[in-house]
Structure 1
Amino acid sequence: MNVGDLGLPVAVPSTALFTDQYELTMLQAALRSGTADRRSVFEVFTRRLPEGRRYGVVGGTGRVLDAVENFRFDETILGFLRERGILDGPTLDWLADYRFRGDIWGYPEGEVYFPGSPIMRVEGTFAEAVLLETVILSILNHDSAVAAAASRMSVAAGERPLMEMGARRTHELSAVAAARAAYVGGFHSTSDLAAGFRYNIPTVGTSAHAFTLLHDTERDAFTAQVDTLGSGTTLLVDTFDVAEAVRTAVEVAGPGLGAVRIDSGDLLLIAHRVRQQLDELGATHTKIVVTSDLDEYAIASLAAAPVDAYGVGTQLVTGSGHPTCSMVYKLVARADRDEPGAPLRPVAKKSMGAKSSAGGRKWAARRLDGSGVAEAEVVGTGPVPAELAERVLQVPLVSGGTVVAREPLEAARDRHMAARAGLPLSATQLSRGEPVLPTDFV
């Protein structure tokens, strides 16, 4: 959900310059050669998952829809292109009226994907579709990487809540997108207020070490926080001596203290000691929150610890070592002439090595075994087999230039949980391995 869904005003800037210059120079050359209006089909896919990952997560679809809708060349943008001498007059005139009027299909946000999955398909004239390449890839590569990392962390955390806290570890705009993608992948809240405002994600936050150091004593800091936020607040207890801080925290807030946060040290050992101390002090319902540069492996190592929630920053917003998904945007079919009804013919890059691609307008479906568990990702260019007709993964996203698939962010989050649950059990292993489903091309 975005602020528009909440009835709140928001400025929506043009996304037209979130592109590479060669998209525009290709447009100009196609207009001159008379090929710009040929009906074309582009597909987004990845040839491989990040090393060791068993599945990918589609993130950013909702942001792609916003970007396509706001891809407009206003007078300021056209003036910039004119002053730089990037494009000629006829191309600038063409861009002044640009609106994407084609169709987009794709895996719905939160769905899982595998190598070769046609995650998104963009159809229209070459001119209108080629311009969207960079912005679509920018969004999907970033958000899907964060969503995949979040999903793995969600698996490791089990039922324990996860808080996204990575705003200070990435670009300010990326931080908002990362919080959104993390929520799709299974996180429960964010510390980033811009993400909370824009996407209605629950927000959290209390205090940092600076607040403790500001006061003359740790007791003064705890008292100020409890007086302001109530005894249900979370007190940070590792600024000096953890055991002394926990004792002081319970004395100040009482046994109804909401939580204590640990941000350094041997988290497994300290969590056990803090839990024992809290129980001895009568604070049996006080929760323990841990932070301190966690990733999915650190979270998994704390599974047996008396930890109630995790806060994750750097590793999450950087995709836990894989900040991109290596998705590409390739022309897979095009007409031989510019008449609207001209038939499409497959085209594909045939370079040597791993960068070749398969031509043709593709569908994708997920085949299940006799127990209803996914066993293969099936991708084809011909008719969809009858037994897979109800399992086709792509849905309409944009029809005739109009967005038709907006949904609350919660829907994408729920979809991901369902999709992940439908994979073989080995999908949730954190150890390195091959994709949990093969991709069968038919």
Structure 2
Amino acid sequence: MTTTRFAPSPTGYIHVGNLRTALMNYLIAAKAGGSFILRIDDTDPERSKEEYVDAIKQDLDWLGLHWDRVERQSLRLDRYAEAAERLRAMGRLYEAFETPTELDLKRKKQLNMGRPPVYDRAALVLSDEERARLRAERGAGVWRFLLDQARIEWHDGILGDISIDAASVSDPVLIRTDGQVLYTFASVVDDIEMGVTDIVRGADHVTNTATQIQIIESLGGTAPRFAHHSLLTGPQGEPLSKRLGTLSLRDLRARGVEPMALLSLMARLGSSDPVELRSEMAELIEGFDIERFGAAPTKFDEADLFPLTARCLAARPYEAVAGIIAALGVPDDLAERFWEVTRENITTLDDLQAWWTLFRDGAEPAIDDEDRVFVAQAMALLPEGPLDEDSWGKWTAAVREATGRKGKALFMPLRKALTGQAQGPEMAQVLPLLQVIRVRG
């Protein structure tokens, strides 16, 4: 069975970059009728916060990315300890004691000599006495995985055939000096034991994938199918990393972005297919193909989300927004008509408040000097009493007859006088909703 996973760290709110990874893994599992695991990477007790675990679940639920089960890495520490013992017994896990300063000096020396800055494996030649002395002086060391220095090859679902020389990569640290198991190792153990078959993640993980393939194989597992998506940039190609904090899913949600607008964009961004607004998840699942995505950095502009959101809302039936409209204070007898008039003139649902304020309280008139006399004449002809959808046509016909104006010169000054705006819904629909008209002849 196809099994994928999304493994966020609960150290902050998830953002559009995280979403790209989550969505691709979700769609692969859903299209195959498989299983999608939400795996919380909370092995760092100092940085992991329960509030972020809750936030991750809320954000995914808001988007409709429903997981089949939740796993917590903090509850699986015994499994990592057991796997570490197996690697030690095989001679594939060794303790190293260099300080960060010493490692930095080694890297600089290698670079000066024109060599790749790869860990020199000095810890492997330490005697038992030297290890005991260093442990006594410095405390516990880190535990590194001993790579087999051969080429590591796989077919990547996006990047194609990948070949990495393990000799050009440092033996990865799997366990820190304080005993914390790092992602590189915990993820491998989980992927093996949870039967993960497909993994999509960012292109910045390609080297990690190479080392993890060896760790998987050393533990007797079978490497999943990997695909590495391109990294997001800003709309001008600038790095997006510094702005990800303002592109959290809850921030976009607070700004009124609709879930299907966000999902429709992210399901196609960076692929050879055009972005198309979808109305339901089943359409995204059916149209998803990981092989349609490219390796080039992908431009993301949050401004693209708002036209899509507007289109989402324009297609929404009144029943779906009735509660929101009622909360604005729109009378029941006007509520459905209010939605029909405004639905194609809003970008987010937050815009409804401004429209209702306009209809309820009247707008501050916007009258150009050259139109003041005309507007005064026209307003004197506006009938008293309840207005309906025929009122605009009858009124403007009377104004045309009285003033001789027609076309834009007739309609635009009246729109601006009544709504304070040069654009908006059809005035025939607006006029019956205006509870107050501030300008009169």
TM-score by length of 1: 0.22
Of Structure 1 and Structure 2, which has the larger fraction of its residues in strand? Answer: 1
TM-score by length of 2: 0.22
Of Structure 1 and Structure 2, which has the larger fraction of its residues in helix? Answer: 2
